[in-house]
Amino acid sequence: MTSEAQWLVPPPSPKGPDPIPLDRAFLRSIGLPPPEPGPDGQPWRYRLELSPTVRAAFRAPTGIMPSQWAERYFIVTEGSRPGPWKNENAPYAAGILDAWAEPYVRDVSVMAPPQLCKSKVAEILLGYIADRDPALTQYIVPDESSAAELVDERLRPMFEDSPRLSRLLTGSPKDLTAKKFQLRTMRVMLVWAGSTARLAAKAAKYQFRDEIDKYPVSPSKKETSTEKLLDKRQRTFRWDRKTYRASSPTTATGPIAMAVSVASAVFDFWVRCPICGHMQRMYLTAPDGRPCLRWPDDERDPNRIEDGSLAWYECERCQGHWDDAKRDRAVARGEWREERTGLPLFSHLRQHKPRRIAFRLSALLSMFVSLSEYAAAFLKAKGDKLLLRDFCNGYEGTPWQDYEVERAEKDILALRDDRPRGLVPGGGRTACLIGMVDTQEDHFIYTVRALGWGSSLPSWLVREGRVETFEGVAQVLWDDVYRDVDGVEYPVRLSVIDSQGNRTADVYEFCRQHRGKIFPLKGEQRMTRPHDFTRIDHFPNSEKKIPGGIKLLRVDTTVFKNQLSAKLSILPTDPGAFLLHAEATEEYARQMCAEYFDEEDSVWLCPKHRANHYWDCEVYGLACADLLGVRHWKRPEDKKPASAPASAPRPQPHSSGRVGLPSAIARRRG
Ligand SMILES: [Zn+2]
């Protein structure tokens, strides 16, 4: 034994663990003074004490994921399969459970019809929290009676029947009510969305929001929305809070559909054909129109299909028939995959570390719903709007397309006049043309719009579409010739191109090459002025100089989106209308309706998966009009070409029966 080590090895202590010899150099390196002998001649000892937090971390059984925990400790107390929880009975649940536990995940949303275990997932996670990380937890349900039902039929039996969880009960029946659900280690606050006082009561680390589409819109008129109020309750735990939302969907703007639309990763469940092994998503009808859920061609009676179990599912590759048992096997061998990357759940999570994730499920995947029941529900709903809505929400797990949105799209199409695509309004109505380009990853969406004279700022869509390259953009804006019905040519006076996203450097270079004709544009949600120029001398994220520099047009998009929204509500025959040519498409109309205004935050939002490129282009267009000051332009009296007699047929907004109008369009305009 070396002399150094003698200091550090005291006589064995009668109680406590054996000391560990330490190296002097190590002690110095961590800043501790070298040990000296005590007054009793015994060498000093260092005592290592872990903080309670660290000890708690070590005490917990390590590495157990919620899905494993569930199989070990969770007992299903009701339904057709009571007994210990088995992941194989709901293969999609395990992924949701374990994804929730990933440290960076904060929000988990599950949009699914009934019978897909989405409440069960919440209960398992609650048990897991109570066992593993006790902390104040709020469980929010739509109303008071749901809270009582939740306690009586699910939570109390769940804690009483599991040997692991029953240890956490206080033993007093008074502690297991909807008003007070108190465990030995933590409290579960049951909140129903109608109870403002309870909502405002305390901050919670964990929240479960069940059936959020059934929450009343706002607990009281003075309060903000229930969801926003719930968000406030978690602010204290900004860094380690977790929120679980689950609901059957209602409409495309309902809370769960919105939660899915703002998620940064959205997962669908893929299943594996038990016959050929091919992985696929399950559909009633595939996106390409191929029927997937089948029943005999000559059978249309939903009751006979359901009673006789006549429906089957057809594999997209081998066309093999799956009955319910094969379907269950396909689901059992399935996995979650992210919508855009196509990656399996945990590959995507670990690669992208998203905070907000969402899962979508259809009842086609549920072993509690037979294929024939699903087919029958669809056949019964066919042709009946209300039943179809129930089918979408209750079986497909998809939100019902808002009637409002459909109507809004029709209103947009009503703004079409009689001009064919590409024709500039004539008769001296047009003050100038402007061009707007929205930049996408591998293509561009553009609009060319004619601005009219006068302070009401009338305008007409001349041309819109998609081009693949910068050359294509240049062609549309400066090479193609735009004429009115009298042959008068109009150049594109000002153009802007969206410079945000991954192609900023290319856009800057393009604008530099066409200096004076086009500006790179950056939309911002709030600015002190509607628009402003910023000088840019360098390419983004690089030292490389932009020769001569360029001016970046920054635009307050909220201002111009408000303006565009107001413009779109002007009737086509009224001054200042925002008109389209006769060939404007439904796709254009759809994109113009993509965004909605969030009253709470006073911002425009676009649900994910909804294209809004034409809307963006037209927003930029209003900014261009403002920048040019077209409203204040003096109309030159000599503008009218003498060659055009006053009686010549001119396209007028919203007149009908003009020559050359395609009949299909005339019909659609009704
Ligand atoms: Zn197959």
Q: What's the CA-to-centroid distance between 277 and ligand 1, angstroms? A: 6
459 neighbors 450 (Cβ within 8 angstroms): yes
For the record, the structure tokens of 9 come out as 């090895």
Per-residue pLDDT at 58: 53
Question: 520, 477, 507: which is closest to 623 by C-alpha?
Answer: 520
pLDDT band at 393 (very low <50, low <70, confident <90, very high): very high
pLDDT at 403 over 80: no
Instruction: Decide the pairing of beta strands 492-498 and 518-524.
Output: parallel
Residue 236 DSSP one-character state: G
Question: 483, 657, 666, 476: which is closest to 582 by C-alpha?
Answer: 666
Q: What's the CA-to-centroid distance between 313 and ligand 1, angstroms? A: 10
pLDDT at 91 over 80: yes
Q: What's the CA-to-centroid distance between 343 and ligand 1, angstroms? A: 21
Domain stops at, among 48, 66, 85: 48
Q: What's the CA-to-centroid distance between 330 and ligand 1, angstroms? A: 10
**Average pLDDT score over residue span 353-378:** 95
**Average pLDDT score over residue span 244-273:** 92
**Average pLDDT score over residue span 516-523:** 94
**Average pLDDT score over residue span 52-68:** 68
Domain contains 161 = no
Per-residue pLDDT at 580: 96
Q: What's the CA-to-centroid distance between 326 and ligand 1, angstroms? A: 11
Helix residue ranges per DSSP H, 450-554? 470-474, 504-513
Convert the pLDDT of each residue in 168-211 to its tens digit.
Answer: 999 898 998 888 899 998 999 888 866 666 666 667 889 999 99
Question: 380, 474, 366, 431: which is closest to 79 by C-alpha?
Answer: 366
Q: What's the CA-to-centroid distance between 378 and ligand 1, angstroms? A: 24
Which stretch, 226-230, 253-257, 319-323, 388-392, has highest mean pLDDT? 319-323
Q: What's the CA-to-centroid distance between 322 and ligand 1, angstroms? A: 9
% of the chain beyond a pLDDT of 90: 56
Domain contains 302 = no
Q: What's the CA-to-centroid distance between 522 and ligand 1, angstroms? A: 49
Torsion angle in degrees (nearest 10) through CA of 364, 366, 368, 371: 20
- Put simply, whether the predicted model's pTM sits higher than 0.75 gets the answer no
Per-residue pLDDT at 152: 92
Q: What's the CA-to-centroid distance between 280 and ligand 1, angstroms? A: 9
Residue ranges with CB less than 5 Å from ion ligand 1: 273, 275-276, 278, 315, 317-318, 320
Q: What is the 3-state secondary structure (H, E, C) of 318-354?
A: CCCEECHHHHHHHHHCCEEEECCCCCEHHHHHHHHCC
The CATH number covering residue 445 comes to 3.30.420
Q: What's the CA-to-centroid distance between 474 and ligand 1, angstroms? A: 48
Domain contains 479 = yes
Rounded CA separation 362/350 (Å)? 26
Q: What's the CA-to-centroid distance between 316 and ligand 1, angstroms? A: 6
Domain contains 557 = yes
Per-residue pLDDT at 167: 93
Convert the pLDDT of each residue in 136-148 to its tens digit.
Answer: 898 988 888 889 9
pLDDT at 654 over 60: no
Q: What's the CA-to-centroid distance between 274 and ligand 1, angstroms? A: 7
Per-residue pLDDT at 624: 95
Q: Which range, of 175-189, 390-404, 440-454, 477-491, averages the lowest pLDDT?
A: 390-404
Convert the pLDDT of each residue in 303-354 to its tens digit.
Answer: 999 999 999 999 999 999 999 999 999 999 999 999 989 999 999 999 999 9
The rounded Cα 439 to chain-centroid distance in angstroms is: 21
Domain contains 96 = no
Which amino acid is located at 392 in the chain? C
Instruction: Decide the pairing of beta strands 137-141 and 206-210.
Output: parallel
Domain of 585, in residue numbers = 410-639
Q: What's the CA-to-centroid distance between 308 and ligand 1, angstroms? A: 24
Q: What's the CA-to-centroid distance between 344 and ligand 1, angstroms? A: 20
Q: Which range, of 5-14, 198-207, 570-579, 645-654, averages the lowest pLDDT?
A: 645-654
Rounded CA separation 337/345 (Å)? 5
Q: What's the CA-to-centroid distance between 388 and ligand 1, angstroms? A: 30
Residue 616 DSSP one-character state: H
pLDDT band at 452 (very low <50, low <70, confident <90, very high): very high
Domain contains 491 = yes
Question: How confident is the prediction for the chain on average, in pLDDT?
Answer: 84
Q: What's the CA-to-centroid distance between 556 and ligand 1, angstroms? A: 52
Count: domains in the chain: 2
Buried b (16+ CB within 10 A) or exposed e, 231-242: eebbeebeeebb
Q: What's the CA-to-centroid distance between 295 and ligand 1, angstroms? A: 18
Rounded CA separation 128/165 (Å)? 9
Q: What's the CA-to-centroid distance between 302 and ligand 1, angstroms? A: 26
For the record, the structure tokens of 406 come out as 């459909």
658 neighbors 669 (Cβ within 8 angstroms): no
Q: Which residue has the tokens 């034994």?
A: 1
Which stretch, 53-57, 275-279, 498-502, 646-650, has highest mean pLDDT? 275-279
Domain contains 660 = no
Q: What's the CA-to-centroid distance between 283 and ligand 1, angstroms? A: 14
pLDDT at 15 over 70: no
Q: What's the CA-to-centroid distance between 315 and ligand 1, angstroms? A: 5
Convert the pLDDT of each residue in 539-564 to its tens digit.
Answer: 887 788 888 889 999 999 999 998 99
Domain contains 607 = yes
Per-residue pLDDT at 345: 97
Rounded CA separation 65/125 (Å)? 10
**Average pLDDT score over residue span 432-461:** 94
pLDDT at 278 over 80: yes
pLDDT at 10 over 50: no
pLDDT at 373 over 80: yes
DSSP string, 387-405: HHHHHIIIII--PBPPHHH
Buried b (16+ CB within 10 A) or exposed e, 16-32: eeebeebeeeeeeeeee
- Among positive and negative, which fits the CA dihedral 614, 619, 622, 627? negative
